[in-house]
Amino acid sequence: MKILVCMKQVPQKDAPLKLNESATWVREDIGYEVNEPDAYALEEALRQKEKNGGEVVVVTAGPARSQQVLREALAKGADRAIHLEDDRFVTLDAFNVARAIAQSIKDELFDLVFTGLQSDDFGYAQTGVLLAELLGWPHATIIMQIEAKDGGIRVKRELEGGYFQYVNMPLPSVLTIQSGINKLRYATLIGIKQAKNKPLRRVTFDEVSAALKPNQLTIERLYIPQKTKQTEVIQGPPQDVAKKLAAKLRDELRVF
Amino acid sequence: MAETILVIAEQRESKLNRVSFETLTCGQALAKQTGWTLEAAVAGNNIASVAAEVAKTAVAKVYAIEDGTLERYTPDGYVAALKKFIESSKPKLVLLPHTYQVRDFAPKLAASFGAVLVSDVVGYKYENGKLLFVRQMFQGKFAADVSLSGEGLWFVSFQSGSFRGDQVQPGQAPVEKVNAATGEIRTHPEAPFQEAKQAVDLSQAEIIVSVGRGIKEQKNIEIAKNLADALGGEIAASRPICDAGWLPMERQVGSSGQTVSPKLYLALGISGAIQHLVGMKGSRNIIAINKDAEAPIFEIADVAVVGNLFDIVPALTEEVKKVKV
Ligand SMILES: Cc1cc2nc3c(=O)[nH]c(=O)nc-3n(C[C@H](O)[C@H](O)[C@H](O)COP(=O)(O)OP(=O)(O)OC[C@H]3O[C@@H](n4cnc5c(N)ncnc54)[C@H](O)[C@@H]3O)c2cc1C
């Protein structure tokens, strides 16, 4: 199976996010990491390849810094990478990101495309589904298990409230992967060494711009959400905090 | 021509998903402010009773879009049916609840019109004739006002809990049955099922101590367990903790775990992503301990403890043991 994994670089979970001057985005002087569900998507692709043979290709659309995500994926075992490299990819809406990726792979024949189910920054949860629509392929979202079956695949979709559902589907298709589908591996030293010699194809903004349309979605203003609840803040030395909390639990909340 | 807002309600096995009422409440408010007409639609097979339930709200009309191919949800089936219907009814704005099902088909439906879905919206603003939708960004750390270009057709999905379903205006609307358009269905779903029955029923717990990724390592779960024991409560966790296998899945709280409403919910090192909040925001008292003063969990906490859980929790456990006797 030939599998494409779409990966995104997002701010680190603990990064102190600050608004930029126009309050439309965050300041970029922070640490970045791979979007968590995308890491699971990559792991799943590597496992499928180990089971069924084939090739794993990783793609990202983002500035120069996001190459790190591809390097890590190559070190973990991906065969090659595609980098749509330009700062402008950050400002595209989900439909345009999908258009750019679709354009960059138009000469390739994949059996499966994986994406994480959503990104930790925008959280649109759409790129995979839109990519399927652009490629004319079927899709399934929030996937927790994949097995090859009768020339196609059988996947386990997570539903709400603890329900699941198996779906049988043909190839090629697009799947969006949920965190926790597998256990992530670490890159090995050998892997990191080998990654340096693996092919990485750069795609410029101009190469895909003909496929793009004007963004339909514009972020007018980014801000810290207003609190809706009265919150009492307790701070201070741990001993004092613990005493205050314990007293509160006993006297106000009467939990014991 | 009068503009129309269309709410697409959700059903499964001919049962209305109650979250649809939240979207209807939003649609009613928007219709009032804009002067646009509000209609609703529901797609499926044998859904007369679902349509009748939606028709008891203040909307101009309810469409029951029916066909045997819609018996079990598929994205192909739903998009074929809804696309045809929207082409003929020509709404300006389509509103949906942001459910797993909507996440699955709505981007495709919008794309089939060349449009983008504004997903997971928590509110809207109508300023000087311009509509802005409010979305959470960075897992709730920021909110964004988002505008859409053009004059519609626009698609918007609303996060659960953003509007009050119990505040939907009652009414009596006519129901029109529509024969759904059909197309090729490429995916074949099997029946939904639940994993092995859950041994722990957190929904009955009075006190819950819940751990998140701030706990850092599996062995540190002990720290939280000690507090839970001292308080006589149950231990629970956010999803990443259960994904990692540090606690069993049945102790996960949130949209893909259990929904709890204890007297006391103590959140240790949990950031407060919406998928976690929907599972515990009904708790009577929420105390959150987090080292990040800006953590979204503090927005719904009654008591916000800003600090390092590794310093505070062991001290708290000792204090609880002292005051409890
Ligand atoms: C479809 C879908 C379904 C999902 N279902 C669920 C679900 O059912 N339940 C669920 O929980 N999540 C669910 N999630 C995941 C959810 O989006 C979040 O990723 C998850 O809740 C984050 O868990 P967390 O708060 O433990 O981790 P993080 O977001 O990483 O937060 C860790 C927190 O710990 C704090 N911290 C770190 N160190 C310390 C310290 N020493 N002292 C104090 N605080 C510290 C940090 O400041 C941070 O706020 C779902 C996601 C999706 C997309």
Q: Where are the extended beta strands (E) located within B246-309? A: 264-268, 285-290, 303-306
B4-179 folds as Rossmann fold (3.40.50)
The CATH number, out of the four listed (1.20.1440.130, 3.90.1150.10, 3.40.50.1220, 3.30.565.10), of the domain defined by the range B202-324: 3.40.50.1220
Least confident segment among A132-141, A169-178, B82-91, B194-203: B194-203
Query: Rounded to whole angstroms, how far apart are CA atoms B62 and B8?
Result: 10
pLDDT confidence bin for B197, thresholds 50/70/90? low
Written out in words, the top-level CATH class of the domain with range A2-211 is alpha beta
For chain A positions 115-174, those within 8 Å of chain B (CB to CB) are 120-126, 129-130, 132-134, 138-142, 157-170, 173
Position A14 scores a pLDDT of 87
Q: How many CB pairs below 8 A link A and B?
A: 246
Please, are residues A254 and B231 in contact by the beta-carbon 8 Å criterion? no
DSSP H helical segments within B165-238, as ranges?
221-231
Query: Rounded to whole angstroms, how far apart are CA atoms A138 and A151?
Result: 15
Q: Which residues of A touch B104 (CB under 8 A)?
A: 129, 139-142
Q: How far is CA A67 from CA A34, A60, A189, in A?
A: 10, 8, 19
> Do B118 and A217 lie within an 8 Å CB cutoff?
yes
Please, are residues B304 and A231 in contact by the beta-carbon 8 Å criterion? yes
The number of the ligand 1 atom at minimal distance from the alpha carbon of A37 is 53
Position B195 scores a pLDDT of 81
| pLDDT of B89 over the 90 cut | yes
Longest dimension (CA), chain B: 73
Nearest of B108, B138, B70 to residue A176 by alpha carbon: B108
Q: Per residue of chain A (256 residues), give pLDDT as tens.
A: 999 999 999 999 989 999 998 888 899 899 999 999 999 999 999 999 999 999 999 999 999 999 999 999 999 999 999 999 999 999 899 999 999 999 999 999 999 999 999 999 999 999 999 999 999 999 999 999 999 999 999 999 999 878 999 999 999 999 999 999 999 999 999 999 999 999 999 999 999 999 999 999 999 999 998 877 889 999 999 999 999 999 999 999 888 7
- Determine the average pLDDT of the residues in B207-231: 97
Half-sphere exposure of B87 (CA within 13 A, CB side): 12
Domain boundaries, given as residue ranges, for chain A: 2-211
Query: Rounded to whole angstroms, how far apart are CA atoms B47 and B20?
Result: 15
CATH 3.40.50.620 residue spans of chain B: 4-179
Q: CB B245: neighbour CB atoms within 10 A?
A: 11
User: In this structure, what token pair is assigned to residue A209?
Assistant: 């711009």
> Do A164 and B294 lie within an 8 Å CB cutoff?
no
For chain B, percent of residues with pLDDT exceeding 70: 98
What residue in B sits closest to A13 (Cα-Cα)? B138
User: In this structure, what token pair is assigned to residue B129?
Assistant: 């004739």
CATH 3.40.50.1220 residue spans of chain B: 202-324
Position A196 scores a pLDDT of 94
Using one digit for the tens of pLDDT, what is the confidence trace for B220-265? Answer: 999 999 999 999 999 999 999 999 999 998 999 999 999 999 999 9
Q: Which residues of A touch B111 (CB under 8 A)?
A: 95, 129-130, 133-134
| pLDDT of B310 over the 60 cut | yes
User: In this structure, what token pair is assigned to residue B159?
Assistant: 């996060």
Q: Which residues of B touch A136 (CB under 8 A)?
A: none
pLDDT confidence bin for B115, thresholds 50/70/90? very high
pLDDT confidence bin for B1, thresholds 50/70/90? low
Using one digit for the tens of pLDDT, what is the confidence trace for B45-72? Answer: 999 999 999 999 999 999 999 999 999 9
CB neighbour class for A213 (10 Å; exposed up to 12, middle 13-18, buried from 19): exposed
Q: Which of A9, A101, A160, A218 to probe by mutation at the B interface, max B CB count within 10 Å?
A: A160
SS3 category, A70: helix
Nearest of A200, A203, A219, A199 to residue A211 by alpha carbon: A203
Half-sphere exposure of B112 (CA within 13 A, CB side): 17
Q: How far is CA B27 from CA A120, B24, B147, B156, in A?
A: 28, 5, 18, 11
Residues in the ligand 1 pocket, defined by CB under 6 Å: A 13, 117-118, 142; B 212-214, 238-240, 252-257, 269-271, 273, 275-276, 279, 289-292, 295, 308-310
Q: CB A179: neighbour CB atoms within 10 A?
A: 20
